[in-house]
Amino acid sequence: MIALLILLIPLLGGLVSFMIGDHKKWVGPVFLLAAGLQFLLVLLALTSWDQPELHRFSAAWMSDVGSSFSLSLDPLGKVLCLLNAVVYFLLALYLQGRSMQKPGAFYGWLLLAQAGMMGVFLATDGLLFYFCWELALIPMYFLSSIWGGPRRIAVTFKFFIYTFLGSILLLAGLIYLQSLTPEKSFALDAILKLNLTNTQQSWLLWLILPAFAIKLPLFPFHTWQPDAYEEAPTPVTLVLSAVMVKMGILGLLRWLLPILPVAAYQWGDVIMGLAVGGIVYASLIAWRQDDLKRLVAYSSIAHIGLMGAAAFAGNLGSLQGLCFQLFAHGINIMGMWFLVDLIERNLGTRKIADLGGLAQRSPGLTLFMVIIAFANIALPLTNGFVGEFLMFTGLLATKSNYYWVFTVVAGSGIILSAVYMLGMIRSVFFGEGPSQPLPPVKLSVQEQLVLLIVVGLIFVFGLFPQPLLDVTASYSDNLFKQIDISYLFKNF
């Protein structure tokens, strides 16, 4: 029941937002109300209403193609729903009082996107999953294309087509899986029971993987991302990179690894190789970016690369780290985008070359940036550290023969992340600044509040990660058992 409510609140909120689009005074509060309600609900679902029977919902729907409307709030879903709710709540808070064109439509699309993403996180039916997957994409298309930067139309279109291509291959894979089940069902449980041959698994892997790889995005499927991030309005970029990319990870964890464990192992070397190669690649490119948004975009690719590799590392440490990092990365990158947005809106530029010396006149902003940047480069006692630490542990322990290569190459990302992040801070915040001094960036009360919450989350989860790890412990354990194929090696 709660699962259904989680889906319905943003959906209804979005529709209401569209309806009252003309009353500009009301759309902001409505957005905040919907996001706040959602946040409250998810919080309650994780705490006092934490009964499994409340977390499932199933209704008949398209039964003759073997699909049903079934949702379930499992531990992984909990983490992601929480992230989604937190991000939207903070975003709603942050955007209060912002004037823009057609705010009703803007918030409406945003909420619809949230509904779609929630659906992806909750669905336990293949077809419903795919539905929500696309439902989350369409709002993003409109949001970026209407409210975005000068090259928005072409760039967003590329993003859309690229993602769409991936997702229809995913659809083919799902249908294929459905046709293999004895009861012709899209239900995840039915699919998990399949005994697929190695060939089938390989086939399916390459049908299903591209959708997730593009969404993440994993090197070399990433080229839509920097452009899309750059051209989308920053709040949308925030949602894209803080929550939407998690759909890809969720897809890997729920719809790929447990279903195709053998193929995941067989191709693990290739995928992990690409992923860790992508870390170095993206980090080096991030180093040479002169646009703040592009820099953060490439840094995100690098971080996601590690997450992708961890997903395929296939052991408990990496999975737990990944589950944690899903949340941590969302929080950190959200903080990053808030700051980028503040800089862009207050100073009118996000070109690194035009910025400089912000620390003199905007010390508060600088402090936030330093903290969030260091959380992003996984300094211990920030939340970024825990996830990356566990993922690295897992990466070294992976069954692949190249475990140490992966670890070292991925590890060089640790160094490079410091290189580009600190380089950016140095150019933007330190030094004397341009000859025409930039005006100070004044933070409003709610902006300060939002950033403080972000920083608070960074430290709280950096110091006490265990509660969140406990949430996903059973899940990771279970998943690990599902993907553990060591029984295959016993014969040797």
Partner 1 sequence: MQDIFQLAYWIPLLPLLGSLLNGLGRRYMSRSMAGWIGSLSVLGSFVLSVLVFLHVKSGHSEVIHYFDFIKVGTLTIPFSFQLDALSSLFLLIITGVGFLIHVYSTAYMHEEDPDQFARYFSYLNLFVFSMLLLVLGSNYVILFIGWEGVGLCSYLLIGYWFKNPAYTAAANKAFIMNRIGDLAFLVALFWIITKSGVVGFQDFFSFVQQHQFTERFTATDITVITLLFFIGATGKSAQLPLYTWLPDAMAGPTPVSALIHAATMVTAGIYLIARSNFLYSLAPHTLHLISWVGLLTALLAASIALAQNDIKKVLAYSTVSQLGFMFLALGTGAYAAAVFHVMTHAFFKALLFLGSGSVIHAMGGEQDIRKMGGLSTKLRITYFTFLIGCIAIAGIPPFSGFFSKDAILLSVFLHSPLQYGLALFAALLTAFYMFRLLFLTFAGQFRGTEEQKHHLHESPWAMTLPLLVLAVLSVIGGWVGIPEVLLPNAEPLIQFLSPVIPVVPHAVSHETEYILMATSTVLVLLMVLAAWWRYRHYQPGVSTSPFTRLLENKWYVDEIYDKLIVQPLSWMAAWLRSVAEAKVIDGFVNGVGRAVQYSARQLRFVQSGQVGLYVLLMVLSMAVMLFIQFFIRK
Partner 2 sequence: MNALLVSALWGVIMMFSGVAIKRMNVVRYVAMAGVAILIGLNVAEMKGWHLLAIDTTGMLAFDHYALLFNSTLLLAVFIYLVLSGSAMERIGAHCADYLALLFFIICGLLMVSAFESLLILFLGIEIITIPLYILTGSDKKNLKSNEASLKYFLLGAFSSGILLMGIALIYGARGSFALSGVADTIRVSNSLMLSGMLLLLIAMSFKVSAAPFHFWTPDVYDGAPTVFTSFMATVVKVAVFAAFVRLFDRSFALQINAWQAWVAALAALTLFMGNITAVFQQSVKRMLSYSSIAQAGFMLLAVFAMNTTAKEGLLLYAATYSLATIGIFAVLIRMKDYSFEAFNGLASRYPWVAAALTIFFLSLAGIPLTGGFLAKFYMIKAALEQSVWLVLFSLVMAAVSVFYYFRVIQAMYFKPVGQTDPITFDPGFTRLLIGVAVLLIVLGLFPQLLIGQLYF
Q: Can residue 464 be called a binding residue for partner 1 (CB under 8 A)? A: yes
**Which residues does residue 71 pair with via DSSP β-bridges, in sequence order?**
57, 123
**How far, in Å, CA of 308 to CA of 291, rounded?**
25
Nearer to partner 1, 196 or 211 (CB): 211
**How far, in Å, CA of 304 to CA of 246, rounded?**
9
Q: Can residue 221 be called a binding residue for partner 2 (CB under 8 A)? A: no
Nearer to partner 1, 125 or 230 (CB): 230
Picked from partner 1, partner 2, none, the partner binding residue 90 (CB below 5 to 8 A depending on kind) is none
**How far, in Å, CA of 176 to CA of 174, rounded?**
5
Q: Can residue 194 be called a binding residue for partner 2 (CB under 8 A)? A: no
Question: Could you tell me which stretch among 31-39, 269-277, 376-384, 443-451 binds partner 1 (CB under 8 A)?
Answer: 376-384
Cβ(89)–Cβ(111) below 8 Å = no
Picked from partner 1, partner 2, none, the partner binding residue 131 (CB below 5 to 8 A depending on kind) is partner 2
Tokens, residue 181 = 């089940």
**How far, in Å, CA of 315 to CA of 358, rounded?**
44
* SS3 state of residue 31: helix
Q: Can residue 134 be called a binding residue for partner 2 (CB under 8 A)? A: yes
Question: Could you tell me which stretch among 69-77, 201-209, 373-381, 440-448 binds partner 1 (CB under 8 A)?
Answer: 373-381
Q: Can residue 429 be called a binding residue for partner 1 (CB under 8 A)? A: yes
Cβ(121)–Cβ(80) below 8 Å = yes
- Neighbouring CB atoms inside 10 A of 450's CB total 23
**Which residues does residue 56 pair with via DSSP β-bridges, in sequence order?**
72
Distances in whole angstroms, Cα of residue 80 to Cα of each of 159, 322, 469: 23, 12, 13
Q: What is the dihedral of CA 330, 335, 336, 342, to 10 degrees?
A: 140
**How far, in Å, CA of 220 to CA of 217, rounded?**
8
Q: Can residue 153 be called a binding residue for partner 2 (CB under 8 A)? A: yes
The sign of the torsion formed by the CA atoms of 211, 107, 154, 346 equals negative
Q: Can residue 380 be called a binding residue for partner 1 (CB under 8 A)? A: yes
Residue 102's region, left for phi above 0, alpha for psi from -120 to 50, else beta, is left
Q: Can residue 138 be called a binding residue for partner 2 (CB under 8 A)? A: yes
Q: Can residue 106 be called a binding residue for partner 1 (CB under 8 A)? A: no
Candidates 2, 11, 86, 135; binder of partner 2 (CB under 8 A) is: 135
Cβ(364)–Cβ(457) below 8 Å = no
**How far, in Å, CA of 406 to CA of 308, rounded?**
12
Instruction: Name the helix (H) or strand (E) containing 349.
Output: none
Q: How far is the CB of 30 from partner 2 (least distance, A)?
A: 19
Picked from partner 2, partner 1, none, the partner binding residue 179 (CB below 5 to 8 A depending on kind) is partner 2
Nearer to partner 1, 206 or 404 (CB): 404
Picked from partner 1, partner 2, none, the partner binding residue 359 (CB below 5 to 8 A depending on kind) is partner 1
Q: Can residue 71 be called a binding residue for partner 2 (CB under 8 A)? A: no
Q: Can residue 408 be called a binding residue for partner 1 (CB under 8 A)? A: yes
Q: Can residue 130 be called a binding residue for partner 2 (CB under 8 A)? A: yes
Residues of this chain, 189-228, that bind partner 1 according to CB under 8 A: 220, 222-224
Q: Can residue 51 be called a binding residue for partner 2 (CB under 8 A)? A: no
Candidates 65, 415, 460, 488; binder of partner 1 (CB under 8 A) is: 415
Residues of this chain, 256-295, that bind partner 1 according to CB under 8 A: 281, 284-285, 287-289
Candidates 160, 224, 324, 327; binder of partner 2 (CB under 8 A) is: 160
**How far, in Å, CA of 411 to CA of 404, rounded?**
10
Q: How far is the CB of 62 from partner 2 (least distance, A)?
A: 6
Angle (nearest 5°) at CA 310 between 307 and 311: 90
Q: Which residues bind partner 2 (CB under 8 A)?
A: 61-65, 127, 130-131, 133-135, 138, 142, 145-146, 152-153, 157, 160-161, 164-165, 168-169, 171-172, 175-176, 178-179, 203
